[in-house]
Structure 1
């Protein structure tokens, strides 16, 4: 489900808090979505199951050695069965992850009181629960769009091409090379444009192909909506992406990239000794490689 453009316009008014200022508090709620699948009452079976679920999710996510920062769980039986998922951003430490999830379990019940379904987003984590089994699907539900209202100076088309290269390369690295399905990238541009930083993440239980498809869909959508912007992000339960003209994540970029060379001259033909009876002329293929340095 995507928000209507009216809600997106309201989100853009919060630009200076969420995108324009690197100093935004990571504990601030970015957005919450209260569901439409019904309500429960205090101290009911559903309420008790929800408290158990939230505790289980936080404990599992912060104590897991294989999938640290991620957990999904189911508690109870129909009609009081409840499904939940939490995900911390891939570069946050144990303390920040635990703190964010603890805050989320409190805020989501205050902001969406007695809703059987709710989603909440922060810079460092997200939490979703529902009485519908969304865990069986990789559909990237409850997407939120946020962007910087300022454009870069220069060609919007050229800069958007650079952003696409950054995000596509970072997305491929996350989907195909990282068990956490998380990656960051830095694109070192010329003086015409500022250095640009990107972050992508999927839930680690997604397959390589599902993660790549989810991220590529968001990249296409982001560049269609926010071409030439100084920053933008799309939040989703299953995958999310973001780019900015400043570093907004906690660690050194996993990828350090330079733009692909455009309009490069063809290489000089190789010198070969003459032959008396040349054979049929063959096809010549030139392959260009763009190298990226990877920081472990």
Structure 2
């Protein structure tokens, strides 16, 4: 199970609109082999470039880095976004956080609209020493709406969430 889930509520409808006021990065505090860093970053940019045109707006892949093992990549956008908004969201995250965290062996970048994971093993974030950074660019004056729930590989509808919430109580 991957670790990120966002729950969002607003009085105005935000479905289909990209949200960049909240972004965050989590990285495993293990430096990547210098020979693998550029391969990994290029691999993730390639996944990010193909995800927006996929029917479910996600792309995953495995990069073989020889003796250093395998690297797993996963990128995903909320499915209510259009191709352009998804592409912009993914590239904004990569441009913002790759310079800071791209030399780590595993990392996760996320916003309300899209998420990106790079790991040396599946589920790397479940049991490692993590370094966190969260940033908020602040309120732009726009009120963002409704309720949206996204998890790493699954999307829930509003009614499903309510059912789950009712069963939990």
Structure 1 pair 199–173 and aligned structure 2 pair: CA distance change class (3 A): same
CA distance in 2 between partners of 1:227 and 1:234 (Å): 11
> Any residues of structure 2 matched to 1:129-168 within 5 Å, and which?
129-135=9-15, 137-152=17-32, 154-155=33-34, 158-168=35-45
Does 2:108 align with 1:233? yes
Q: Which has the larger radius of gyration?
A: 1
CA distance in 2 between partners of 1:187 and 1:241 (Å): 15
- Deviation per CA, 1:178-221, whole angstroms, max 9, x where unpaired? 11101111101121x33111110001121112211211111122
Structure 1 pair 173–248 and aligned structure 2 pair: CA distance change class (3 A): farther
Does 2:121 align with 1:246? yes
**Aligned match of 1:172 in 49, 56, 64?**
49
Partner of 1:187: 63
Structure 1 pair 161–168 and aligned structure 2 pair: CA distance change class (3 A): same
**Aligned match of 1:211 in 71, 77, 86?**
86
Structure 1 pair 181–136 and aligned structure 2 pair: CA distance change class (3 A): closer
Alignment root-mean-square deviation, CA: 2.2
Shift of 1:123: 2.5
Shift of 1:174: 1.2
Q: TM-score, normalised by structure 1?
A: 0.38
CA distance in 1 between partners of 2:15 and 2:52 (Å): 19
Q: TM-score, normalised by structure 2?
A: 0.65
Structure 1 pair 136–173 and aligned structure 2 pair: CA distance change class (3 A): closer
Q: Secondary structure at the match of 2:99?
A: helix
Query: Number of matched residues?
Result: 124
- Structure 1 unaligned segments of length 5 or more: list them: 1-25, 27-121, 250-296
> Any residues of structure 2 matched to 1:276-291 within 5 Å, and which?
none
Bigger relative CO (Cα 8 Å, ≥ 6 apart) = 2
Structure 1 pair 217–160 and aligned structure 2 pair: CA distance change class (3 A): farther
- Structure 2 unaligned segments of length 5 or more: list them: 125-169
> Any residues of structure 2 matched to 1:55-70 within 5 Å, and which?
none
Q: Secondary structure at the match of 1:229?
A: coil
